Structure 1
Amino acid sequence: MKRTVFLVMLLTSIFGYAKAFQNELNDPVSPFSVRGFHLDLRIQAIPMPALKKLASQLVEGGINTLVMEWEATYPFQEEPLIPNRFAYTREEVKDFIAYCNSIKLEVIPLQQSFGHVEYILRNPKYKDLREDQKDYSQVNPIREAEAKKLFTTLYKDLIATHNSPYIHIGGDETYLLGHSEESKKKIKAVGIGRLYGDYIKMLCEVVVGLGKRPVLWADIALKYPEALKGLPKETVFIDWNYGWDINMFGDHEKLMKSGFEVWGAPAIRSHPDNYFLTQWGKHFKNISDFVPLAKKLGYKGIIMTSWSTSGLYAPVFETTRDIVDLYAIRRVYPISGFNMLIAAFIESIKSEKALDAENFIYRYAKSQYGLDENDAKVFWKAVSAVPFEITQGKPIHTDLSIGQMLDSTRNAALTLGKLKPVKNAKEFEHYRLMAAIRVQYLTYQSIESRANAPEMDAEKLKPLIEELEALRTRELDKKFIAANSEVMYPSEIAQENELRSAKIRVLLDRLKRVK
């Protein structure tokens, strides 16, 4: 009950703020007939009462569509091996959809049907559908008959609980196209575009045959425009763009001339965001740049995506062919920490002008936290400090060293600690926690970098043990629990805390053996 009450309060503050901005903007009319928010439940399951409140506040903010990526939280009736331990009951789902209908919020179910289906193909029952027997992420498109049977069953189940005219079938990031010998033969005969397109055509026709309109991500169709041929005219493509050139996936003009309806999709959480990094500036720029472009291109809809993970999984193998479990690759800070970006998106789709991100941030800091103009600027500088990745011990896209990044992040964390929000203090605490987690991460990276230096020997490694032990992972774990226990299940939080500090424990245990 406490978790639900807190999330209700949290969401009320987010969308109440967005609603206030709507009045400031003289009640402009959005050019998007579909104004949507995408909810990713792959590693975040939210209690149903809180979901209802979220739905209500989305509607108040001007959102009319909710794309639900249920994944394994959906209680499939005829395929009971697919749901996971956090799956909702059918009664909960039906009641939620009925509630959304009553407040005029359309719920589009998203059922991945080509790539990103590890959670289905992990079960031996579906092993013959795998494109690769060591990477369970993708369906073999040659196995059309078996796939048609499975996904027809899943679509029918979703239709039994949802009444949207759309079914989102996924279709993105099919990295394994052509891996199986069967697929290789078809590519040799007709090309990789037709390998993708023929399978997608089959899925779309199933959806149309069930009286619905198929929706799919546009990246692979952009890459292989021949895949567009023969698709049902009812098909809708979502052009997801998180800050790159419009032609990154392929010739965008061909999609625009294809005659299909197109929606756009920016993101508030996406690569390379993870436990330790949120690229706030990138996401604000994505909203500022892409929403106006989507308007200019005449897109009928806009869907804000919010990815809790990359959608890729690392299998833990028991043998060379059998897995024990799947672990999500790249886990992101919970959505409870991203209220500011949600509010920015809501404002942007209503405004006739591109979002002025800097002005918006200062107004948000003043409205939500009671900060004056100077403190608002200090806040933004601290939150957006040194937003760079580290890969294999090396900072990416910057000349800064790990030590310099650590110094800047420590200063940012100290700055956030000194600021005194006069309201919504619990929301503000997320920024402090994110900064503290990043300081811990960069401290570890500094230790790991020194441990791997060529000149290090056993004697020189010993002092690093004390540094690792001083990282105080348990202290941060407690803060993470305090900040997020209302919006995540206890077992989810326990796993987050364990995985976030895993590298620290592994290196510490190894160094303790040094004599």
Structure 2
Amino acid sequence: MMKRQQETPDGTGLSPERVSFNLTLVHLDLKGAPPKVSYLAEVLPLLSSLGANGLLIEYEDTFPYSGELLPLRAAHAYSPQEIRDILQLAQLHHFEVIPLIQTFGHMEFVLKHKEFSHLREVPMYPNSLNPHKEESLRLLQVMIGQVMELHPAVQWLHIGSDEVYYLGKGEESKMKISECGICIEDLFLSHMKKVASYVTSSYPRVRVIAWDDMLRGASIQTLTESGVAQLVEPMIWDYTPNLDVDGRTDLIEKYWQCGFHKIWLASAFKGATGPSQLLTLIGHHLENHRCWQQVAQRVPQGILQGLALTGWQRYDHFSVLCELLPVGIPSLAICLQTIKEGSYSEHTAASVRSILGMATLDVENYMSEVTGSYPGSEVLELITQFFFFLKTPTREFLDGDKFVTGWFSHFHRKRKRLHPIMVQQIEPQAVSLLSKWTSVLEELQTAMLRIFPSVTVEEWMEENALPHYMQLQELVEDLNSATDVGGNTVQ
């Protein structure tokens, strides 16, 4: 049995000693909003000063795949030289780089293409790879080969493998389960072993990391006999603010018993509170890290390889963008400093405010007024303005103002009927709001374009800002049109 650290007098089981991880990784989820190299050059020194010493880079379709994999490459993907530039920046600031390649679940960016759609586990769904086709393994080998070619010095490779939805639902899987008397965990472990074996045999000095959620349901005997423990280091992820400390500690002990002698933890600093989240609630993520600290304090030294602070940009390839990286940096800073110092205190908050150039930093609530001097802080400031002072007031005006809803409804606007006196009631606020929208969106677009490719800015604007802006603009246009025809009263 894994021996836990000695309990403190209060019986909590927590050591008073600070937990020190060999590697504290910041996850860069690049699907949908890959930062420009120039921005990363500004951000990496900041992350280093906050206590990070590694990057977990999830490229997905932003990697410059070539040859037969060219369809996977997005128009806004990095070039090979940009990848080399990123790695050079990481080396300059002493970051360990770990690439992440999905090899089983979350394969949408691959299986959505007609060239690879025949490799789906279930023909209708592009999320999971069919593990029974030889071509599936060959595809992964080519993907891994191209990524490794541009990352020749890495010591770890993360092969994803989380949330393999519908595994066992494909016809070949059903036949295998029926004929061999096996279960879904066996299917999963067999595929993971093939992928990990390929990596370790092709790149002997590279160790394999994988998400652990598909391992949790397997018995100790199944995991032990699979042989996966000799090939893979599991990364246990849980992004909740009230995670089960006892349960996660027991899970580490289970993996230890199965032969996994190096284990990783994964928290979240953004991207885990809603698929369309715009602002980051720092307190949620701070509590998540506090819980993980408690878990880490219960585990003997030497077992935990490191902690990855994930920052999801999309929930999956087809979902909308959630909090952009510059928006999540205050949360990342709080979480990194909490890990570095061993606890959260006013000293931690003051240190983060100083590093980020922020006068105030509220971890419990969304901040309606925010300023800062860290790279990209203007994006957070402008999105905060948009959220509190444009989006909400505009919705209240369009849907709740009695003069708009009572005297200038869609029925009135369609027929250009407006009592002249109502122009005085509606027009000033409508024009004022529209002027503010124009100013803030111009500034926000300029600020975002300094950090992200135009396709990211276009998507964010179209999803979040333009629906409200255009409704307000149409109202003003209809107001002017109704006034131009003489302000007819409703008959």
Q: Which position in structure 1 is the counterpart of 2:309?
A: 304
State the percentage of identical aligned residues: 21
Cα 1:56/1:507, change in 2 over 3 Å: closer
CA distance in structure 1 between the aligned counterparts of 2:223 and 2:438, rounded to whole angstroms: 51
Does structure 1 conserve the Cα–Cα contact (< 8 Å) formed by 2:197 and 2:231? no
Aligned length: 426
Does structure 1 conserve the Cα–Cα contact (< 8 Å) formed by 2:105 and 2:127? yes
TM-superposed deviation, 1:478: 2.4
CA distance in structure 1 between the aligned counterparts of 2:393 and 2:135, rounded to whole angstroms: 50
Q: Which position in structure 2 is the counterpart of 1:360?
A: 348
The one-letter code of the counterpart of 1:493 is V
Q: Which position in structure 1 is the counterpart of 2:457?
A: 493
CA distance in structure 2 between the aligned counterparts of 1:422 and 1:35, rounded to whole angstroms: 25
TM-superposed deviation, 1:203: 1.0
CA distance in structure 2 between the aligned counterparts of 1:507 and 1:429, rounded to whole angstroms: 24
Q: Which position in structure 2 is the counterpart of 1:289?
A: 291
User: Which of 58-67 and 211-220 deviates more?
Assistant: 58-67
Does structure 1 conserve the Cα–Cα contact (< 8 Å) formed by 2:326 and 2:376? no
The one-letter code of the counterpart of 1:302 is L
Does structure 1 conserve the Cα–Cα contact (< 8 Å) formed by 2:271 and 2:323? no
Among residues 373, 380, 383, which one is paired with 2:362 in the alignment? Answer: 380
TM-superposed deviation, 1:330: 3.6
- Structure 2: state its 5+ residue gaps: 1-16, 415-425, 479-489
TM-superposed deviation, 1:448: 10
Within a 5 Å distance, the mapping from 1:227-306 to structure 2 comes to: 229-243=226-240, 244-246=243-245, 247=247, 253-260=253-260, 261-273=262-274, 274-298=276-300, 299-306=304-311
Q: Which position in structure 1 is the counterpart of 2:112?
A: 122
Q: Which position in structure 1 is the counterpart of 2:422?
A: none
User: Which of 196-205 and 430-439 deviates more?
Assistant: 430-439
The one-letter code of the counterpart of 1:44 is A
Cα 1:505/1:342, change in 2 over 3 Å: closer
Within the alignment, does 1:214 sit opposite 2:208 as a pair? yes
Within a 5 Å distance, the mapping from 1:293-372 to structure 2 comes to: 293-298=295-300, 299-313=304-318, 329-351=319-341, 353-356=342-345, 360-365=348-353, 368-369=356-357, 371=359
TM-superposed deviation, 1:363: 4.8
Within the alignment, does 1:152 sit opposite 2:141 as a pair? yes
- The CA deviation string for residues 134-186 of structure 1, in whole angstroms up to 9 with x for no partner, is 3211101222x111111111112222221212111000111222221222233
User: Which of 226-235 and 123-132 deviates more?
Assistant: 226-235
Cα 1:40/1:464, change in 2 over 3 Å: farther
CA distance in structure 1 between the aligned counterparts of 2:311 and 2:191, rounded to whole angstroms: 27
Within the alignment, does 1:176 sit opposite 2:166 as a pair? yes
Give the structure with higher Rg (CA): 2
User: What is the Cα-based RMSD across aligned positions, in Å?
Assistant: 3.8
- The CA deviation string for residues 89-143 of structure 1, in whole angstroms up to 9 with x for no partner, is 2233234334534554221111101111111112211122112233211101222
TM-superposed deviation, 1:276: 3.6
Does structure 1 conserve the Cα–Cα contact (< 8 Å) formed by 2:19 and 2:297? no
TM-superposed deviation, 1:462: 5.0
TM-superposed deviation, 1:268: 0.9
Among residues 371, 380, 386, which one is paired with 1:430 in the alignment? Answer: 380
The secondary structure found in structure 2 opposite 1:140 is coil
The one-letter code of the counterpart of 1:67 is L
Name the TM-score, length of structure 2 as normaliser: 0.74
The one-letter code of the counterpart of 1:237 is P
Among residues 61, 65, 76, which one is paired with 2:65 in the alignment? Answer: 76
The one-letter code of the counterpart of 1:495 is E
CA distance in structure 2 between the aligned counterparts of 1:423 and 1:501, rounded to whole angstroms: 24
- The CA deviation string for residues 295-322 of structure 1, in whole angstroms up to 9 with x for no partner, is 4324221111111111241xxxxxxxxx
User: Which of 239-248 and 249-258 deviates more?
Assistant: 249-258
The secondary structure found in structure 2 opposite 1:219 is coil
Q: Which position in structure 2 is the counterpart of 1:321?
A: none
CA distance in structure 2 between the aligned counterparts of 1:300 and 1:238, rounded to whole angstroms: 9
Does structure 2 conserve the Cα–Cα contact (< 8 Å) formed by 1:292 and 1:354? no
The one-letter code of the counterpart of 1:337 is V
- Structure 1: state its 5+ residue gaps: 1-27, 314-328, 386-411, 451-455
- The CA deviation string for residues 256-275 of structure 1, in whole angstroms up to 9 with x for no partner, is 42221111111111232434
CA distance in structure 1 between the aligned counterparts of 2:454 and 2:113, rounded to whole angstroms: 26
Cα 1:510/1:300, change in 2 over 3 Å: same
The secondary structure found in structure 2 opposite 1:124 is coil
The secondary structure found in structure 2 opposite 1:236 is strand
Does structure 2 conserve the Cα–Cα contact (< 8 Å) formed by 1:308 and 1:331? yes
Within the alignment, does 1:200 sit opposite 2:188 as a pair? no
CA distance in structure 2 between the aligned counterparts of 1:154 and 1:384, rounded to whole angstroms: 42
Cα 1:509/1:61, change in 2 over 3 Å: closer
TM-superposed deviation, 1:482: 3.9
Cα 1:495/1:73, change in 2 over 3 Å: same
